[in-house]
Amino acid sequence: MTTQQLTDQIKKKKSFLCIGLDVDLNKIPKHLLDTEDPIFEFNKAIIDATHHLCVAYKPNTAFYEAYGIKGWKALEKTIQYLNQNHPDIFTIADAKRGDIGNTSTMYAKAFFEDLAFDSVTIAPYMGKDSVEPFLAFKNKHTILLALTSNTGAFDFQTKSIDGKELYKQVLETSKTYQNSENLMYVVGATKAEYFSDIRKIIPNSFLLVPGVGAQGGNLQDVCKYGMSDNVGLLINSSRGIIYASNKEDFAQAAANNAKALQQQMEEILNM
Amino acid sequence: MTTQQLTDQIKKKKSFLCIGLDVDLNKIPKHLLDTEDPIFEFNKAIIDATHHLCVAYKPNTAFYEAYGIKGWKALEKTIQYLNQNHPDIFTIADAKRGDIGNTSTMYAKAFFEDLAFDSVTIAPYMGKDSVEPFLAFKNKHTILLALTSNTGAFDFQTKSIDGKELYKQVLETSKTYQNSENLMYVVGATKAEYFSDIRKIIPNSFLLVPGVGAQGGNLQDVCKYGMSDNVGLLINSSRGIIYASNKEDFAQAAANNAKALQQQMEEILNM
């Protein structure tokens, strides 16, 4: 998918919502546990109920790997279901990978070719040759961790490196990578005041923003400081939407919460 | 496995060799491609031929994920084969994971419980709450990326952060994490001169050292500057051993190359 297609989708749906499919078998409705593939059945119901309200889905691979082969099968079925039924929706493998060159190429093949995701999240610690193999894939997107939404972000990301915070160094250095136009960035919503500085370095790149809702981030603040001319934001909500109810009405409850966020986004886009 | 058990194994085998099981179907002997599970058959033959010469095996998960479900099955069979036949050998899931707290817990379950590895490699970028969920597992080890062996290591890891290189900050900060006694570190062999400084910060921790051989690192230099009182080194070789031959003699050729490294290690240990 191209960035333009993503932007078109945002304008059409009046939404820049990304729904995180982080499926924990301890949290999903009990009646699904009797089905052959509870994880996929849960995702399918959520997707069926919310696809008109969001522009992206983001399964976090950890939640699938934790269930071994069964989990990988559910991930495979979920991405296939999305690509077959909603090819216009942007898909993100939230995998936070990154390794030396030939190994990053293997990860890129896994997520871009074998699973056919539109994008994958990558940790920047190993630098240029760990990121560029992902950037080499045309119309695929590499979402680099810049400033994450957790407390551990203050351990290293916000520390000053040669006079500039590490996450800013990551933003600036990554702009010099080959095919850097395929880069997007993770920036946590819990730190809305950082967005102005970030936009000075990367005025137009898409930002994947976790941390609205459960982690305390504020949508209006993020948009005020982080929105670019082409919107340039994907606001993720996982638990706040998919676990809105753990009863039989879970999909409708998820849709209601997604709708509430979409309406706030529509208001912001109309301003 | 405890660190003491690993050290005992090193002394018994006079080896601190780790063999990287990075299986690429384009590089393994062609006659294996006709078997039901070529990746596992390759690993099994390599393990059968080399287990007396090494103390650890390290499958890099990228090489398995690239083959989807089939790859994960091969990874599962490989770790099961190791745990059943060689429970004394230290196993490393080279996965370079790391995410926010509840997600890191899912990864830890995937690698420590579901797959039953002794250890997993972790990227430090997201800080404390992304690492501690792994450290909470008793007699399991978290191998944090400090200074990697690739050129991209110079993008951020060696940059000065508040007057000290980022990788040294990672070493120092990680010592304050809960259950930090379960930490080991990745330090590339290509930078032997850094080991003295590293040992000042973490005198006794085990270091997993890639980059000897194919990437140009020198075993003697690494040992001179990096060895601790309890050895404290796991020297990894992947391609240099497992792809020693791509013919029917591949396992014997791998054993020969492993033996050559083991003998160098024995000499160093006897000095």
When pLDDT is averaged across residues A183-191 and rounded to a whole number, the result is 91
Smallest Cβ–Cβ distance between A66 and the set B67, B100, B106 belongs to: B106
- What is the maximum span of chain B, computed from C-alpha positions, in angstroms? 56
List all residues 6 or more positions away from A94 whose beta carbon is below 8 Å from its beta carbon: A20, A58, A59, A60, A61, A120, A121
- pLDDT for B214: 64
Closest chain B C-alpha to A133 CA, distance in angstroms: 12
Q: ∠ CA(B150), CA(B151), CA(B156), 5° rounding?
A: 100
Residues of chain A contacting B161 with CB distance shorter than 8 Å? 156, 159-161, 166
Closest chain B C-alpha to A78 CA, distance in angstroms: 14
Segment A198-232, tens digit of pLDDT: 999 999 999 999 988 766 678 999 999 999 999 99
Closest chain A C-alpha to B167 CA, distance in angstroms: 10
Q: Is B144 helix (H, G, I), strand (E, B) or coil?
A: strand
| Closest chain A CA to residue B215 | A100
- How far apart are alpha carbons B210 and B204 in whole angstroms? 18
- pLDDT for A64: 96
- pLDDT for A59: 98
Residues of chain A contacting B66 with CB distance shorter than 8 Å? 106-107, 109-110, 114
Residues of chain B contacting A97 with CB distance shorter than 8 Å? 62, 96
Closest chain A C-alpha to B270 CA, distance in angstroms: 34
Segment B134-155, tens digit of pLDDT: 999 999 999 999 999 999 999 9
Tell me, what's the ipTM? 0.95
Q: Is B181 helix (H, G, I), strand (E, B) or coil?
A: helix
When pLDDT is averaged across residues A136-153 and rounded to a whole number, the result is 96
| Closest chain B CA to residue A168 | B156
Only one residue has tokens 């800013």, namely: A168
**Least confident segment among A70-74, A258-262, B211-215, B233-237:** B211-215
Residues of chain A contacting B120 with CB distance shorter than 8 Å? none
- pLDDT for A215: 66
Above pLDDT 90, what percent of chain A?
93
Q: Which residues pair with A161 in a beta bridge?
A: A164, B161
| Residues of B taking part in catalysis | 96
- How far apart are alpha carbons B235 and B18 in whole angstroms? 6
List all residues 6 or more positions away from B256 whose beta carbon is below 8 Å from its beta carbon: B244
| Closest chain B CA to residue A74 | B69
- Segments of chain B with pLDDT less than 50: none
Segment A147-156, tens digit of pLDDT: 999 999 999 9
Smallest Cβ–Cβ distance between A62 and the set B107, B123, B162 belongs to: B107
Q: Is A210 helix (H, G, I), strand (E, B) or coil?
A: coil
Radius of gyration of chain A (CA): 18
Amino acid at B47: I
Residues of chain B contacting A107 with CB distance shorter than 8 Å? 62, 65-66
**Domains of chain A with CATH codes:** 3-270 (3.20.20.70)
- pLDDT for A120: 98
List all residues 6 or more positions away from B92 whose beta carbon is below 8 Å from its beta carbon: B18, B56, B57, B58, B59, B117, B118, B119, B120, B121, B143, B208, B234
- pLDDT for B211: 82
Selected for mutation to probe chain A from B22, B64, B94, B100 (highest A CB count within 10 Å) is B100
- pLDDT for A214: 63
| Closest chain A CA to residue B65 | A110
Write the DSSP assignment of B194-206 as a string of letters.
GHHHHHHH-SS--
Smallest Cβ–Cβ distance between A159 and the set B62, B100, B162 belongs to: B162
Is A151 within 8 Å of B107 when comparing Cβ atoms?
Answer: no
Looking at A73, A96, A128, A259, which residue is catalytic? A96
Is A151 within 8 Å of B127 when comparing Cβ atoms?
Answer: yes
Residues of chain B contacting A160 with CB distance shorter than 8 Å? 161-162
